[in-house]
Amino acid sequence: MAGSARLLIAGCGDVGTRLGLRLREAGWTVYGLRRAVAALPAAIVPVAGDLQADSCPPAWPAGELDYLVYCAAASQHDEAGYRAAYVEGLRRVLGWLAQHGQKPRRLLFVSSSSVYAQQHGEWIDEGSPAEAEGYSGRLMRDAERLALASGTPASVVRLGGIYGPGREWLLGQVRQGYRVASEPPLYGNRIHVEDAAGLLAFLVQADARGVALADCYLGVDDEPAPLHEVVAWLREQLGVSHWAEQATVRRAGSKRCSNARARALGWAPQYPSYREGYAAVLAGASTTS
């Protein structure tokens, strides 16, 4: 079935487009739902629609849909924006599926490692308590619960911090002399944008082959790293010698996420650590292979 599978990507932005191109190359029919469909490559069938609108998009695909990947991004970063993008948007898409009598084999909901509140460098896996106190993590958990209770078999994929071409905030900070404390180390978890798309593609293709999926996966590279170590390495690569006057306080927690569950299924990141990933960014390399 894998060669003829039909997939709808709701919120088909950067990660979704990279996912769609991978599955199109594998022979899938891929529909991409987003407001500005002119940005979609020709290989992805455009579905012009707004996840915050009550009416179903007119170009909603007819017939069976084998898979739904929900990977919206909040356009406004406050509590209302997160609720609209993740909880209410998903609720609408599930309603539109029901309206058309479509029952996908599986739903993948793209979540975030922000659902974890741990702050002391603890190792985290899919079984660790996910009890974030901030609105972003809380609303992601609400959306995860909605996905898992939807009546469609579902898996949530909690991605670490995505970086890659066009996602170069940290590089800009380092160029300005970004300083962070080394004690206690602030561990961060990241994944190159190509590996984020690759993991999602790997999971839906595994399901299509009949592999039993778990209800949750962590999407991170092999090496959670202290932020000061990443900054030091980037300074060396960029030839930065000056420091900003003020050390920057990073408010996010410190934790180390394990990708062991995804690796046990056979997935491996193309960029196993920040070194390979940022080297590719700095070299201007971006591949969809």
Q: To 5 degrees, how large is the angle CA 184–CA 189–CA 193?
A: 150
Calculate what percentage of the chain has a pLDDT beyond 70: 95
Phi/psi at 17 (nearest 5 deg)? -65, -40
List the domain boundaries for the chain: 2-282
If you average pLDDT over residues 56-83, what whole number do you get?
95
* pLDDT in the model for residue 288: 36
Between residues 168 and 281, the one the model is more confident about: 281
- Other CB atoms within 10 A of residue 166 CB: 9
Q: 33 has which bridge partners?
A: 10, 47
What pLDDT does residue 1 have?
Answer: 53
32 C-beta neighbours (distance < 10 Å), count: 25
pLDDT at 176 over 90: yes
Decide if pLDDT at 250 tops 80: no
Average pLDDT (176-203) is 94
Q: How confident is the model at residue 168 (pLDDT cuts 50, 70, 90)?
A: confident
The model's pTM: 0.95
| pLDDT tens for each residue of 222-232 | 999 999 999 99
- Average pLDDT of 145-167? 96
Average pLDDT (188-193) is 97
* Nearest in space to 282 (alpha carbons), one of 153, 187, 134, 168: 168
CATH number of the structural domain 2-282: 3.40.50.720
Judged against a pLDDT cut of 70, whether residue 2 lies above it is answered with no
Report cis status (omega within 30 of 0) of the bond before 184.
Answer: yes
